[in-house]
Structure 1
Amino acid sequence: MSVIARQGFKYSIIGYLGFLLGTVSAIFIFPYDVKFYGKLRYIMPMAEIILPIVVFGISYSNVKFFFSTKNDGKHQNLLSLSLVAVCINFLIFIGGFFLAAYLFPELKVTKLWKMKLIILPLVLVLALSTVFNKYISNYKRIVVPNILDNFLPKIANLGAFCLFFFLAFQEKIAFYFFFGMFVLGLIAYYFYTNKLEKFTPDFSTNYFKKDKLYKQIFNYSFYGFLGNIGTYIALRIDNVMIGDYLGFQENGVYSTLLAIISLISIPSMGLYAISAPLINEHLELKEYEELDVFHKKTSLTLFFLGLVLFSCICVGFPFLTSLMQNGELFKQAEPVIWILGISTLFDLATGFNGYIISLSKFYRYSTFVMAILAVLTITLNLYFIKNTSLGLLGIAIATAISLTLFNIIKIIFNYTKFKVQPFTIEMIYAAIIGTLGIAVAVMLPDFKNNFVNLVYKPSLVLVFFLIGNYFLKIFPLEKYLNKSFLKSIIKF
């Protein structure tokens, strides 16, 4: 088995285990104290929004310019100066932050200011870790970085929560543990980098002054910064704005619902990574018809599997809340599940739209669209928070609108440039089956035991999908249930 195959297989296992740990914790552990969980879910997203400002795209330059600098024996020089640049950027940001607080005293009443002693140091640790993460990827090693990047935050959340709630430690101690896990991760990054190749810091600037290489690095880093900050704002701003405007308890509820609905994205975890090389090949060879066929097949697969999971969640969620601590809080927010779920389904139905753009010669367009998404998300969230009384439902609607418009823009762009689009008639058949399955499951009587209902209702939906798929041939299920396919997985 090749290095890439081994790393990819291990990467997938770690990814799914991390996802499972995070989801189970969000459903059965964190609801014991929704407010404290809301604080944890405020700290990390806020740090991640600030993160691109401090990193400034420098991490991407450690990939882009790795091989050229390695040929000259200066790749560790690039890494060393990148780490210094991140530290300098952090000091500049800190100076700007406190200057802003001096000029605008209202900043001192925000939750960011009150929690600055954990958020700001966390930004520096994450920034340095990000540089190491990208640098290590040049050695085709993705498993250890995935553990540190994906698994570690979930352990930090779970450990901090258990210390505070179950072991009755002070909140401050729990936050120290949370921060300490990321410091441990940074130390692990350093030692793993040193294991791959003995790291000898080199802070000389002569090499980068030659032929003004530093200008190329700056320009590339700046582009990475623009794309990265748009992505982080678009994906993390919900938790920050809920924490600031609605409260930490509401943030905890929203984060739990988000964890539940993210289950429907499980099928996409591996498929996107596998698809990228094929997309790139079709684009390079200008095989747009083949790309269109591939696009439709993968989009249908993601939509169908996501729809099955979403339908099961919809009919089972009311009974799941009865088994959760503080379940009534989550049951009241059930419409959020429907809004976020439907918008996520549409996102799955559009497939790898973003990959087509980012892997094509129009890759700069991704940055422009992501910036639009970030601005639109913030604007809509503010509107629904300040002008309506919808609360979390308003946040969900704002997210759904911005995500849907984002996908529509990408669909139009890809169809205009490459004549590819993701939709098929089979998607309509699948939607009809899902709607009928949900309707029948909801109308049928409930048992007195909620655990029985939690099993029985989703099972009924699954039967509907199996029968409907058997007659309409939407998804080639038989291909994935035969002995040869199962043996190939075990062998791999």
Structure 2
Amino acid sequence: MGIVQRQGLRNTIISYFGLGLGFVNTVLVLPKLLEPAQIGLTSVLVALATVFAQVSAFGFANMGVRVFPYFRQREAGHHGFLPFLLGVPLLGFALVALVYLVGKPLVLGFYKPDDAQLLSEYYVWGLVLALFTLLLNLQDAYLKGLFHTAFSSFTQEIVLRLLITGGAVLFGSGYLSFQGYVLWYVGVNSGIALLLTVYTAAIGELHLRPTRAALQVRPLGEMLSFAGFALLGNVSGVIIQQIDAIMVGAKVNFDGAGIYGTAFYISTALVLPFRALYKVAFPLLAQYWKDQDLPRMADFYQRTTRLNTALGCYLALGIGLNLDFIYAQMKPAYAAGATAVLILLAGRLFDGITGVNGLIVVTSPRYRYDLLFNVSLAVATILMNLFFIPRLGLTGAAVAAATALFVINVARTWFVWRSFGLQPFDRRVPLLLGIAAVAGLAAWLVPAVESVLVTMLLRSALLTVLYGLLILLTGALPEATALWQQATKRLRR
């Protein structure tokens, strides 16, 4: 898997380091320095900015990755691809900004008076955040097409988290007011987009001169058609991912949004390795479709599913078994999200195990069908949130999110199998699940001691040793066996 292994390894290392920084942010810094309502405010701002950024993008990020193989020609500036990729979404942002500002009373009307007043103070900054989120997504798509994904991961997973941590420390030390912290938060998120621009220029790929060739390499109607479908799909995806933060803030309060947002982030630790791989998988699958290389795609599909199953089960067990330790590092109010974490972990694990089904569909000639999945699921997610949140509060939002992940992945996996004869599972996947169950049960049976730190270390050590040993003895993950053999050979030398 050549380039996938190189870029994937770099992205995985960066993601795991970013995971450590994220843990510091989520567990050791933000919940100690900020009240749940303050974290809730930033969560709602990010959610609103993400939704409006996706609408502005008009699906050009996905479209760009899909068609870039046809434009790729460095000496010709990729035929003006980058100005075309940026231009239409920026025009769209002007219209979205108008809607965002005019719709302010409507948005604030969904929240309780105290929360609405707090959001009103920072509402315009949400628009700034939306603009730079748009630029970040477009540049990230361009770098994916160039197979330069590691630096983008580095800036988003490490640099951004370090800067957010720095802002929180400044706030806690009294150097920043809460208003100053929010502006810092918006500023560093915006700065990442500018940093990617500098990087693109440094590698000699910042080709900003527009050319007519950009409209001739591929039929314009075809590109706009794909972008339009991708727009609806992306907006649906954002609704699936972000609507819970918005609706918890509206149906509960900003305190609830902060507690749920923290629980949501803890569960996100599970998906970081998946995201690292998907950054490289997207352009690679587009290339497979261009070359009509279904055998290699089938092999890649099962390899990634197997790897995601092994990593996902280990991380899900590690997080779930040690929630007492994780929440012991926060203010007591945040522990109300523990049940939500477990439910979200289950949904995210299933999402990872089912592999890259969504990417296969969206890069395939039948990409339009993915729109049907996403729109239906977005509507269902909103309805489920409306039903579950008033009845179960934070737990209801988690149930809605996990159910959404389960439904869309079952539908996509079935569709990929029926349409292309590709399925993600081989005989090793059930074996990996069985190994995870045995190792997880053994770690869970370790009795809790007075110190939550010692309990965490004992359970984690047993889980790691037993899980790794069983994988090597059974050969359930050939990639892990090969790495182990290489490592032992080097040690012998």
TM class by shorter chain equals 0.7 to 0.9
CA contact under 8 A between 2:144 and 2:279: conserved in structure 1? no
Q: State the alpha-carbon separation in 1 of the partners of residues 107 and 471 from structure 2.
A: 60
Q: State the alpha-carbon separation in 1 of the partners of residues 220 and 303 from structure 2.
A: 44
CA contact under 8 A between 1:303 and 1:427: conserved in structure 2? yes
User: Once the two structures are superposed, what CA deviation does each residue of 1:298-334 show, in whole Å capped at 9, x if it has no partner?
Assistant: 4233223322232232222223323x021x3344432
Q: State the alpha-carbon separation in 2 of the partners of residues 139 and 182 from structure 1.
A: 23
Aligned CA distance change for structure 1 residues 68 and 272 (closer, same or farther; 3 Å) = closer
Among candidates 161, 171, 175, match of residue 168 of structure 2 = 161
Q: State the alpha-carbon separation in 2 of the partners of residues 105 and 355 from structure 1.
A: 36
Q: What is the match of residue 260 of structure 2?
A: 254
Q: State the alpha-carbon separation in 2 of the partners of residues 37 and 451 from structure 1.
A: 26
User: Once the two structures are superposed, what CA deviation does each residue of 1:395-437 show, in whole Å capped at 9, x if it has no partner?
Assistant: 1111111110111111221222234433456544544454454
SS at structure 2 position matched to 1:264: coil
State the 1:351 CA deviation. 1.9
Residue range with higher mean Cα deviation, 258-267 or 302-311:
258-267
Q: What is the match of residue 44 of structure 1?
A: 46
State the 1:441 CA deviation. 4.1
State the 1:273 CA deviation. 5.3
SS at structure 2 position matched to 1:361: coil
Give 2:405's aligned amino acid.
L
Is it true that 1:303 corresponds to 2:305 in the alignment?
A: no
Is it true that 1:480 corresponds to 2:483 in the alignment?
A: yes
Q: What is the match of residue 263 of structure 1?
A: 269
User: Once the two structures are superposed, what CA deviation does each residue of 1:345-401 show, in whole Å capped at 9, x if it has no partner?
Assistant: 222221222233234322222232222222222221121123x1x111111111111
In the alignment, structure 1 segments of 5+ residues that lack a partner are none
Aligned CA distance change for structure 1 residues 465 and 218 (closer, same or farther; 3 Å) = closer
Aligned CA distance change for structure 1 residues 217 and 437 (closer, same or farther; 3 Å) = closer
SS at structure 1 position matched to 2:152: helix
The TM-score, its normalising length taken from structure 2, stands at 0.81
User: Once the two structures are superposed, what CA deviation does each residue of 1:438-462 show, in whole Å capped at 9, x if it has no partner?
Assistant: 4454444322222111111233334
Among candidates 327, 332, 343, match of residue 321 of structure 1 = 327
Give 2:485's aligned amino acid.
N
Q: What is the match of residue 91 of structure 1?
A: 94
Q: State the alpha-carbon separation in 1 of the partners of residues 215 and 298 from structure 2.
A: 45
Aligned CA distance change for structure 1 residues 301 and 486 (closer, same or farther; 3 Å) = farther
Q: What is the match of residue 224 of structure 2?
A: 218
SS at structure 2 position matched to 1:169: coil
- Report how many residues are paired: 480
State the 1:187 CA deviation. 3.5
State the 1:144 CA deviation. 3.7
State the 1:481 CA deviation. 1.8
CA contact under 8 A between 1:312 and 1:458: conserved in structure 2? yes
Is it true that 1:284 corresponds to 2:292 in the alignment?
A: yes
Q: State the alpha-carbon separation in 2 of the partners of residues 155 and 434 from structure 1.
A: 33
Q: What is the match of residue 340 of structure 1?
A: 344
Aligned CA distance change for structure 1 residues 7 and 261 (closer, same or farther; 3 Å) = closer
State the 1:140 CA deviation. 4.3
Q: State the alpha-carbon separation in 1 of the partners of residues 72 and 436 from structure 2.
A: 54
Q: What is the match of residue 375 of structure 1?
A: 379
Q: State the alpha-carbon separation in 2 of the partners of residues 212 and 334 from structure 1.
A: 50
State the 1:11 CA deviation. 4.2
State the 1:233 CA deviation. 2.0
Q: State the alpha-carbon separation in 1 of the partners of residues 374 and 487 from structure 2.
A: 42
In the alignment, structure 2 segments of 5+ residues that lack a partner are none
Q: State the alpha-carbon separation in 2 of the partners of residues 198 and 187 from structure 1.
A: 15
Among candidates 399, 413, 416, match of residue 414 of structure 1 = 416
Aligned CA distance change for structure 1 residues 61 and 462 (closer, same or farther; 3 Å) = closer
Residue range with higher mean Cα deviation, 418-427 or 390-399:
418-427
Q: State the alpha-carbon separation in 2 of the partners of residues 218 and 279 from structure 1.
A: 17
Is it true that 1:106 corresponds to 2:109 in the alignment?
A: yes
Aligned CA distance change for structure 1 residues 88 and 455 (closer, same or farther; 3 Å) = same
Q: State the alpha-carbon separation in 2 of the partners of residues 471 and 139 from structure 1.
A: 39
Give 2:185's aligned amino acid.
F
State the 1:175 CA deviation. 1.7
CA contact under 8 A between 1:479 and 1:485: conserved in structure 2? no
Residue range with higher mean Cα deviation, 421-430 or 123-132:
421-430
User: Once the two structures are superposed, what CA deviation does each residue of 1:92-138 show, in whole Å capped at 9, x if it has no partner?
Assistant: 22323344457898369657655312101221222234344444555
Give 1:256's aligned amino acid.
T
Give 1:481's aligned amino acid.
W
CA contact under 8 A between 2:160 and 2:192: conserved in structure 1? no
State the 1:38 CA deviation. 2.6
Is it true that 1:230 corresponds to 2:236 in the alignment?
A: yes
CA contact under 8 A between 1:90 and 1:124: conserved in structure 2? yes
SS at structure 2 position matched to 1:395: helix
Q: What is the match of residue 29 of structure 2?
A: 29
State the 1:89 CA deviation. 2.3
Q: State the alpha-carbon separation in 2 of the partners of residues 24 and 330 from structure 1.
A: 15
Give 2:242's aligned amino acid.
R
Give 1:18's aligned amino acid.
G
Is it true that 1:170 corresponds to 2:177 in the alignment?
A: yes
The percent of aligned pairs where both chains have the same amino acid is 21
Is it true that 1:120 corresponds to 2:127 in the alignment?
A: yes
User: Once the two structures are superposed, what CA deviation does each residue of 1:56-85 show, in whole Å capped at 9, x if it has no partner?
Assistant: 234456563696597996868664466554
Give 1:451's aligned amino acid.
L
The TM-score, its normalising length taken from structure 1, stands at 0.81
Root mean square deviation, CA, Å: 3.9
Is it true that 1:181 corresponds to 2:185 in the alignment?
A: no
Give 1:284's aligned amino acid.
Q
Q: What is the match of residue 17 of structure 1?
A: 17
Give 1:49's aligned amino acid.
V
Give 2:248's aligned amino acid.
I
Give 1:407's aligned amino acid.
N
Give 2:245's aligned amino acid.
N
CA contact under 8 A between 2:325 and 2:453: conserved in structure 1? yes
